[in-house]
Amino acid sequence: MTIGNWKDHILVDCARCSKPMGYHVETVTAVCDECDQQLKNAVFLGNTKANAIPERLRGLKTIRLGTQAVDINGEVLDPKEYLPLYIDKSEEKAYDDIMRNALKTIRRG
């Protein structure tokens, strides 16, 4: 496959955000640069109930639900029940602070 130059590109939709972008072949799996960067900076927190970001974490600006959760053995979980939870690397400290404070509260009784 020859990539060529920008004149050879066609418009396709990003597989994650559906934003139109230039690409060199017809595809349904390509992601835009913005989504690609988000994926590289994503920190997996764990699986959570579908459509339910935990209350204590809702203040995080970059928290988001993924599209497909898997269990510890790699088995796919029903997306109607569980989804993966992610934040951006830039909020790792804020997440740690929230979780430490929650643990202190639990320990106090």
Per-residue model confidence as pLDDT tens digits over 41-95: 899 999 999 888 999 999 999 999 988 899 999 899 999 999 999 999 999 999 9
Residue 93 lies in a domain: no
User: What pLDDT is attached to residue 83?
Assistant: 93
Q: Within this chain, do residues 34 and 57 fall inside the same structural domain, yes or no?
A: no
Q: Are residues 69 and 103 in the same domain?
A: yes
Asked whether residue 19 falls in the same domain as residue 57, the answer is no
51 & 5 share domain: no
Q: What's the half-sphere exposure (Cβ side, CA atoms, 13 Å) at 64?
A: 15
Same domain, 73 and 28: no
The pLDDT value recorded for residue 39 is 76
Answer yes or no: is 62 within a domain.
Answer: yes
The predicted structure's pLDDT at residue 2: 53
| pLDDT at 6 (0 to 100) | 57
| pLDDT the model gives residue 14 | 84
Q: Average pLDDT, stretch 96-107?
A: 93
Q: Which residues contact 8 (CB under 8 A, 6 or more apart)?
A: 24
Q: What integer pLDDT is reported at residue 5 of this predicted model?
A: 62
Residues 80, 54 share a domain: yes
Domain identity same for 5 and 50? no
Indicate the number of domains in the chain: 2
The confidence score (pLDDT) of residue 49 equals 93
Q: What is the dihedral of CA 93, 96, 102, 107, to 10 degrees?
A: -130
pLDDT at residue 4, as a whole number: 56
Question: Does residue 53 share a domain with residue 35?
Answer: no
Range of the domain at 24: 1-40
Alpha-carbon distance of 64 to 108, in angstroms, equals 30
- Same-domain check for residues 47 and 32: no
The pLDDT of residue 48 is 94
Asked if residue 13 and residue 2 are part of one domain, the reply reads yes
